[in-house]
Structure 1
């Protein structure tokens, strides 16, 4: 039964929004400066809210009041768009899922290394600057392979609460440490235009500005769960109106939090703001608080990895099951005795498929262990198609807006403008990946 309210929907959206994109916002604002940085954060917030109102209108197929409910973003696309756009959406969706899994692997290993570095410095007085990230990525992957065998992981509601608590914990610690650092120095750092040319070449300045756009876009990536959140809301008043209100509340609250965190971090560190604020705090007291924040990131990412990937695991299993109904490999289940139940049925296909998937994300993470570059690229690749293009196309189809009408042209202008931003952000992130690769040897060099 759908009994959700504006406030429960707002809470779910805020939980999805406040995540691993936050620690890189101070760095993003440092590239853009005091004028452009907060302005662009607000611009992304406005675009995200506007396109969310378009998507919520497409929750029901046909009549917006009595039409059939869509339980996920994919359902809305399949009910409203043609086969070519459906295939395009699936491609974008699954590439995004794979990419986000890579981002989570890198982010978790970065936080685990920060804990190791901090403890080593404070216990032995040594600064182990060079730590190989590969063992930490492998450990994270091993945990994810085990958790991938838990059926319906994304339905374990208490894990959502744990993940949400972890997000708020490390975000609050990040804000508190920034305020403490600012109070310690007593000086607001930074400049109106960010890092000046001279400290960087003009080309590096352009690429970093573009990458900063992707980092900010990643902080607003939540559209994959918007319709699922809407599906929790009761029917009266209409789900669309209530979700729009929830979007206003959640995006406004999150943006305020982001602006405060990003600006405080920039004010504290200025143009030297680290790529990952919590990792950059590694040797500052109280170091144990930074350790708690990084541990919270790891716990949250362990859960988020499964919430992100299990729908893909399920989709592949169901698709192969329909295509090969007589396959023993697909249908085979291995019974394993378990102390808390009679037995646990391990699906052989799930074990093999999820293991291959996790190993793939670890392999690419080892090749490209660059947190900010990957976050910027993921933000760029997910922003335009998932946040702008498909909501616009769904809205045009749902409302039957005539081609070349004023409203149609305006919507297309918004879509094209956001596409340009996405291309620029992706180009900046890719350029910085190539720059980082010049001083990095995969599998053999510490980073």
Structure 2
């Protein structure tokens, strides 16, 4: 099956004939081909929603209590709601760019970069590619770190329970490193990375979406239970207080990093077009289906985020941890924490694939265009949902190994999450969707709509730069005391 990911830059000229032949090479009506000659898409509002929820309700939800703790009861929920509205709006703009021209019969843009290429100059296409794929690598690293933290939490909860029933503390015996868990997660990803593309992982997204709701619900329940045990709601209107252990500058940096954490928690625009390309052909148009799926997903996740973040802050106050489910001061009921953390791991297995498939497909399509007669690249062995070629096995395995090693070098969950959210938020979630929409709809320069769109983009740029600065400051602080591979 033809991969959905397009190339850019140097390989684009070679690939143009291939794309033309796919678009125009099959004009006959068929029960199993779409209007572009590719196998008929079967995605619906619900499968698209599952993909989005898998991408959105990820490890980011675990850091929201910490983010609200930095901002307080007033600014925290307000900023979370503001991010939700901005991301929903810009996602609807981006959904309009799936087809060039007519929304039902226009040329399809199979990837985010294809859409940028259709509307914006070549330099911006290359810039988009660098930012998008660098961010996807970063997401893979962040998810590996998050999965290892949850796996280690399962081991620690079981260890503490074992020693507790024997009347011992187990404090020293239960220490462990994240590195072995990262390796285990990497091995699992090597296996699942042999699934060729989005069409083949819809079932993995549905499982991952269910796991998202599972651990979010458990986190919410534990937050409520802890709040009741405390005898009241913790926290303050302005968040973390300056005082012993927290300087005024640290307060500023952490508040800015909180913006990045919230942005990361909602990040999915970089794969929106790829998800939209799984939706079955009109009527209704793919854009209408995707807008509905986006509305359902953003509303659902915002409710969960508000509940989990706010109840986590209510339970812990200013001491809220950067990973909610590993920050509880107790390990009982240990089985419930095990279920929650196992659900996180299962979710991240699917989320890793949802985010990495566009990068996998891009490299493989570029290689196929560069060496079209190579059996090393083209020859495949299909086993169920897996399509194994020597090149795919080699390149995807190398990628997973690289992200695993980097994760072992930098296991700073909260800092990595904040930095990723900050770096990707403005260019991929706001700037490119706004610019493409202006070109597509012919929004007149200087008009009210043009000014409003530009002001939105400028405001989000300021937020993104500030959040990145806060996250970088924290990473630098962590590196001063960290020894590589110490876990």
1:11 Cα deviation after fit: 4.7
- Note the residue ranges of structure 2 that are not aligned, 5 or more in a row: 1-39, 164-168
Alpha-carbon distance in structure 2 between the residues aligned to 1:405 and 1:153: 39
- Please say if residues 101 and 107 of structure 2, whose CA atoms lie closer than 8 Å, have aligned partners that are also in contact: yes
Would the aligned equivalents of 2:186 and 2:404 in 1 still touch at CA under 8 Å?
yes
Instruction: Give 1:49's aligned residue.
Output: 88
Match of 2:419 in 1: 377
1:296 aligns with 2:343: yes
**Taking structure 1 as reference, are residues 65 and 317 closer, same or farther at Cα in structure 2, changes over 3 Å only?**
closer
Which residues in structure 2 correspond to 1:321-400 (within 5 Å)?
Answer: 321-327=368-374, 329-331=376-378, 346-400=388-442
Provide the C-alpha distance between the structure 2 equivalents of 1:352 and 1:45, rounded to a whole number of angstroms.
39
Task: Please state whether the residue corresponding to 2:127 is helix, strand or coil.
Answer: helix
Residue equivalent to 1:102 = 141
The 1:86/1:274 distance shift into structure 2, 3 A limit, reads same
| TM-score, structure 2 normalization | 0.84
Q: Does 1:176 align with 2:221?
A: yes
Residues 191-270 of structure 1 aligned to structure 2 (within 5 Å):
191-199=236-244, 200-231=246-277, 232=279, 235-270=282-317
Instruction: Output one character per residue of 1:189-209: Cα deviation in whole Å (capped at 9) or x when no partner.
Output: 000111111141011111100
What is the CA deviation profile of residues 11-52 of structure 1, one whole-angstrom value per residue up to 9, with x for unaligned ones? 543343222111110000000000110010011011111212
Count matched residues.
440
Q: Which consecutive residues of structure 1, in runs of 5 or more, have no partner in the other structure?
A: none
Q: C-alpha root-mean-square deviation of aligned residues, in Å?
A: 2.4
Decide whether the 8 Å contact of 2:54 with 2:351 is kept in 1.
no
Q: Which string of whole-angstrom CA distances, capped at 9 and with x for unpartnered residues, describes residues 125-165 of structure 1?
A: 30246422222112211222232234347513322221111
User: Do residues 127 (structure 1) and 171 (structure 2) align?
Assistant: yes
- CA separation of 1:59/1:351 partners in 2, compared to 1, >3 Å: closer, same or farther? closer
What is the match of residue 406 of structure 1? 448
Deviation at 1:60, TM superposition (A): 1.8
Q: Deviations for 1:167-189, whole angstroms, at most 9, x for unmatched residues?
A: 11111111111111112222100
C-alpha contact 2:209 2:347 (8 A) present in aligned 1 = yes
Structure 1 residues 153 and 254, CA gap change in structure 2 (3 angstroms): closer
Q: In the alignment, does 2:466 pair up with 1:438?
A: no
Tell me, yes or no, if the aligned pair for 1:117 and 1:282 is still in contact at 8 Å: no
2:198 and 2:285 map into 1 onto residues whose CA distance is 30
> What's the offset of the Cα at 1:392?
0.4
Change (3 A) 1:275 1:154: farther
Please say which of residues 52-61 and 384-393 is displaced more in the overlay: 52-61
Deviation at 1:329, TM superposition (A): 4.3
- Comparing 299-308 with 38-47, greater Cα deviation is found at 299-308
Moved more, 75-84 or 194-203: 75-84
Q: Is the 8 A contact 1:194 1:271 kept in 2?
A: yes
